[in-house]
Amino acid sequence: MAPRATALRLFAKRTLTPSLCQTMKMRYSTVPLAYDLHEPAKPSVGNPNKNSPIVFMHGLFGSKKNNRTISKVLARDLGRSVYAIDLRNHGDSPHDPHHNYTAMAADVGDFIKQHDLKDPCLIGHSMGAKAAMTLSLTSPTLISSLISVDNAPVDARLESDFARYIRGMKEIESSEVTKQSQADSILQSYEPSVTIRQFLLGNLHRPRHPESQVQKFKVPLSIIGKALDHLGDFPFKDPREVRFEKPALFVRGTKSKYVPDEVIPLIGQFFPRFELVDVEAGHWLISENPEAFRRAVVEFLSPKE
């Protein structure tokens, strides 16, 4: 196994140009985000309902339903409401041709304002982590804290697996399958792991057309396919220009390559009050080791004596 420090292919540091600055300030048209609200049976004292809630963001090809179980557990253990959301072009949220972290962060910022959420904590996994980091740096007054799950504020190449998944999912749609078993049979030639295939096929649904039983993916494959080359990027390059001065927790999988040791100093420059927790798991650490993840989040968000 390659050492953690060399496993991730990082881009060379780039100078922040005026065009990049303009891009980061660009105001995209936002979309209303679908969500599930998980409320605690017994809100903690001073934390009723919408006070200091959690906003939970999934990764690429995921949705709010992937975080359903852990959201209920965190709501119970922390006495906080948890909003598990669908990012744009995922789950039940609207589709939009712009799929980048600036646009996703703008959506979540509007969501926080529209629902009048006070001092929320953002939790994001993978793609959702970079969206959360982007929002924390662009609108730090909107949130109280950040939890980034297995991602870092750097430019990094996405694994080629994602492009292969898109090809497989496009073949499934062109085959006009009517059963998930048919889709799984096609996807086997693109991905041997049953767990990953089930995760991807969780996006399949039957559109409401009475005359057809053909299943389609909720994820707009053409939009996501075009966005893949940039989803490894991070909008901010220079921590001297922008920082998030509030508490931040970075949780990484010990068997994952997304947060190598060499990027830890850069995390500290963007997020000077960060803490780092290693969880014995791969990139999908929330599902692989939910108890270790739960303990890390609860300890971070519990009131300090």
Starting at the earlier edge strand, list the strands of the sheet with 145-149.
35-38, 82-85, 54-57, 121-125, 145-149, 248-253, 274-279
Residues annotated as part of the active site: 126, 283
Q: Is 81 helix (H, G, I), strand (E, B) or coil?
A: coil
Rounded (10°) CA dihedral 111, 115, 116, 117: -70
Q: Kindly report the backbone phi and psi dihedral angles of residue 3, in degrees, each rounded to the nearest multiple of 5, phi listed first.
A: -60, 150
Q: Tokens 């646009």, residue?
A: 103
Q: Check if the beta carbon of residue 167 is closer than 8 Å to that of residue 191.
A: no
DSSP designation for 218: S
Q: Does residue 275 sit in helix, strand or coil?
A: strand
* CB crowding 36-65: b at 16 or more within 10 Å, else e: bebbbeebeeebeebbbbbbbbbbbbbbbe
Sign of torsion, CA 115 119 120 126?
Answer: positive
